[in-house]
Amino acid sequence: MKLPKIMRPHDGTGVIYASAYKICQFYAEEAEWNGNDATYWKAEADYYKKCLDMGINGYVMHPTIERQLEKDAELWKNSWTPYQPQHCL
């Protein structure tokens, strides 16, 4: 899967819901591709998808996502999109 564009809120902590969904989807597909269990990442992606479908926007500070982003910082370094206020409307 191609790396999605992801975004942090204006204060730099956590990621916005849409980005959390994309990150979880990415790691679920990576786990499946590598023959690992993707259950956790799929469940998290489903949760964020439901939130987005209900119109819940904002940001989340998810410890597992943050650790994974730190671990794979080199992989994600070119995937960050600058925050714009309309992204959390």
pLDDT over threshold 90, residue 83? no
Per-residue model confidence (pLDDT) at position 48: 95
Q: Mean pLDDT across the stretch 7-17?
A: 80
Let me know if residue 38 belongs to a domain.
Answer: yes
Structural domain of 45 = 23-72
Residue 66 lies in a domain: yes
Query: Is 81 domain-assigned?
Result: no
Mean pLDDT of 70-86: 80
4: which residues sit within 8 A by CB, 6+ positions away?
Answer: 19, 22, 23, 25, 26, 79
- pLDDT for 36 equals 93
Among the listed residues 73, 54, 82, the one whose alpha carbon sits nearest the alpha carbon of residue 21: 54
Residue 87 within any structural domain of the chain = no
Which has the higher per-residue pLDDT, 67 or 85? Answer: 67
Over residues 18-51, the pLDDT tens digits come to 899 999 999 999 999 999 999 999 999 999 999 9
Residue 52 lies in a domain: yes
Let me know if residue 31 belongs to a domain: yes
Please count the structural domains in the chain.
Answer: 1
Note whether residue 83 is domain-resident: no
